[in-house]
Structure 1
Amino acid sequence: MHDVAPLERPDPSVDGPAGAMDAEPQLLPAGTREWQVRGDWTLMALRGRHTEFRQRIAHAASDSDGPVLWDLRALRRLDTAGALTLWQGWGGKPPARLLWQPEHVTLFAQFMQPEALAAPPQRQRPGLRNALPGLRALSAHAVDLLALVGRLLLDAGQLLRHPSRIGWREISANIYRTGAQALPITALVGFLVGLTLSYLISRQLKTYGADIFVVNILGLAVLRELGPLLAAIIVAGRSGSAMTAQIGVMRVTQELDALSVMGISHTVRLVAPKVMALALSLPLVALWTSALMLLGGVAAASAQLRLDPAQFLHTLPGVVEPVNLWLGWLKSVLFGGLIALLACHFGLRVKPNTESLGQSVTQSVVTAITMVIVVDAIFAVLFSDVGL
């Protein structure tokens, strides 16, 4: 505790003529174990004399038999440079006896809060210590995501018992935003990827005289793997980022706090409609993307191999088993729910500032795309003997 007394401010006329630009910084003895700080302790007034005053302050404190009383009430002006000079002269800690004005508290508070400023941080050796912050952040995300899934499951039970509480309009709006509005970009990208893939495959098959097998390779790759994966990546970058930004802006504008005050669950109002909508719309988007990829493949095969489009479409159902289509749909449902869940998770973790909003949107997109690829690889290993 510091001896801070709400005493009256001394007459400012003793500090120098009114209208002087910079009053001389002064450190004057005012009695036994008492020093008075007067004048302007600013960057300009102390220029070239910071070290001198730090040494004088440290010398005054060390020469006294007991705690020194420092009186700052006669200061005319004080800025961060002056406060830092006093702070360093005191040895990096507030003195036991101190008289100051209320406006001085803010200047010295910036030095009192971080205790690490008194000593420079030690450089850590590379190794496990450098990995600990990343592991802590990963575990925190895992715990929060697991808690979000738990709340979502509990709220899903209540929604099944009370279907009237389901936000059908919100689900419909999210299906339109994540599904219908994504059709143009997925059509363009799917057609071009199918065109390129079929062109490269046709060049290789033509060398060995196996032109007809382009239907087998392209149909299996598109319906089982590339169609759902490409649609999920596009939706994660387009719709997943939008979901994170929407919830993040609600955090910045304190709308999430308002929902909590009104007793409205975030998972019921925000998370559940987005997860349900994307889990329903992404399989349809994946089917649309696969169809456009096959259309691009037909165009390339027709131009490169002179393959009749009718023959391509007639051969496709016979060489690609229907289970591959259902497997692609199952993955799309899982991809949609996972993308929406991660987008809501990072949106709810946004702090009320714009910098955190941008970081969360970036993390949401990168994490969603990474997890989609990881889950797709797991499916490829688990179902390697199905439909092949």
Structure 2
Amino acid sequence: MTDTSTIQDTPPTVEVVEQSDGQSCVKLTGSWNLRSLVTATELNRKISSHAANKNIQWDLSSIEVLDSASSLILWKAWGKKLPVALQLKPEHQRLFDRWQAQKIPEPEPVGSSSSLIIKYGYQLFANFWGQLLQLVTLLGQLFLDIGYLLLHPGDIPWSEISITIYESGVRALGITALVGFLIGIVLSYLSALQLKIFGAEIYIIDILGLSVIRELGPLLAAILVAGRSGSAMTAQIGIMRVTEELDALSAMGISHSLRLTLPKVMALTIVLPLIGVWTSALALIGGMVSAQNTLDISYQQFFLKLPDVVPLTNVFIGLGKSAVFGLMIALIACHFGFRIKPNTESLGNETTNSVVAAITVVIMVDAVFAILFMNVGMP
């Protein structure tokens, strides 16, 4: 009985022999498999040098073992075609027939840096345009659902809206209060350092009132909610995709938009203005505490002067801005949630994209509001 391990361990060799007709012949012997080729690093160089001579003959009939990796090395050295004078076993012929039948893909040529930049820019624009169309489609479906609920009030998902208000609003009161209070302290302290130079300490109330009620309060609340609740909404829909719950809802004829998107959008649109007012109030309290310690402005003086220096219009601007923030955060969270594929990598990527996109859109919308209402609500 033949010992196969001895045959497989026979080292591969390459030698050039002279035949009776004076022609040179490259003779290959031994075991030509991947395990043997690992230790024989010079074989590839020898084969390439002999293959450069197109008139030389090749004898592979003495090869004991030949696998696909070794046949591919020989095939590439021969220029992806069999030599004219080739001797080999019939069972080895099938390996070369396979490489001859299929086309090995060539590596794509690397283009210039300018073409790569143009291609990348086009892909980026196409991706942005596609996501924008999907977001507009989601918004249009939302308006259709609102019209349907106006005609069928009994189908309003009150329980889903209530749960989202609690998760996104009530449970966010702690972190928004802490951040608002600290921002108020920091803003008041930094402003006090400059106001002391000009002897205008009393104007700290004007700076805090306008900046917090009109800008910082709603903006801080929206950024915190986008990072906290927006990511949770995206991950929730993504988990439903991974666990095939979305497919189950479709099979039962339940609308994704009516049961998932609409409650989240309505809840955030309602609750974010309230969180904005809460954050602004805590920021004013923090600024008031800092003004008392640094500028010796009493709490009573702060409360009495604040309504005079901050017109009521600024409060309504902040509320309207917060409602738009809530609408956009919920829409973006649901949009990226439905884009998640049924794997964990996509879940993490789209959740990150959701938070980044929501915060970016919030800042862009805030800039639009600042331009549109530039001369509105100023004392």
In 2, Cα distance between equivalents of 1:87 and 1:241: 53
For 1:278 and 1:141, how far apart are their aligned partners in 2? 22
Instruction: Map 1:194-273 onto structure 2 (within 5 A).
Output: 194-273=184-263
Return the offset for 1:203.
2.1
Could you tell me which residue of structure 1 aligns to residue 165 of structure 2? 175
Structure 1 stretch displaced more, 209-218 or 254-263:
254-263
Q: TM-score scaled to structure 2, two decimals?
A: 0.78
CA distance in 1, matches of 2:174, 2:75: 63
Q: TM-score, normalised by structure 1?
A: 0.77
Cα deviation digits, residues 193-232 of structure 1 (max 9, x gap): 0001011112222222222221112111111111000110
Name 1:42's counterpart in structure 2: 34
What is the deviation of 1:353? 2.1
The equivalent of 1:140 in structure 2 is: 130
Letter in 2 for 1:357: L
8 Å contact from structure 1 (residues 195, 293) kept in 2: yes
Q: Which runs of 5+ in 1 are unaligned?
A: 1-12, 27-37, 64-73
Aligned to 1:334: 324
Measured in 2, the distance between the counterparts of 1:18 and 1:328 equals 83
- The answer to whether the 8 Å contact 2:11/2:36 transfers is no
Q: Quick one: structure 1 residues 57 and 261, their matched pair in 2 at CA, closer, same or farther if it must change by over 3 Å?
A: farther
Match of 1:152 in 2: 142
One-letter amino acid matched to 2:34? T
Q: Report what 1:33 is aligned to.
A: none
Match of 1:349 in 2: 339
After superposition, give the CA deviation of every residue in 1:207-264 in whole Å (9 maximum; x if it has no partner).
2222222111211111111100011011111111111111122222222222222222
Q: Which amino acid aligns with 1:216?
A: D
Matched-pair contact (CA < 8 Å) for 1:54–1:85: no
Do 2:242 and 2:343's aligned partners in 1 also have CA atoms closer than 8 Å? yes
Q: How many residues align?
A: 345
Q: Is the 1:39–1:77 contact (alpha carbons within 8 Å) kept by the matching residues of 2?
A: no
Instruction: Choose from 295, 298, 307 the match for 2:288.
Output: 298
Give the 3 Å change call, closer, same or farther, for CA 250–322 of structure 1 in structure 2.
same
RMSD (Å), alpha carbons: 3.7
Q: 2:114 aligns with which of 114, 125, 146?
A: 125
Q: Which residue of 2 aligns with 1:164?
A: 154
Say which SS state the counterpart of residue 114 (structure 2) adopts.
coil
Instruction: Assess, with a 3 A threshold, how the Cα gap between structure 1 residues 192 and 263 changes in structure 2: closer, same or farther.
Output: same
- Aligned-residue sequence identity (percent) comes to 49
Equivalent residue, structure 1, for 2:3: 17
Deviation at 1:77, TM superposition (A): 6.1
Which residue of 291, 297, 308 corresponds with 2:298? 308
Q: Secondary structure at the match of 1:125?
A: helix
- Segment drifting more, 321-330 vs 165-174: 165-174
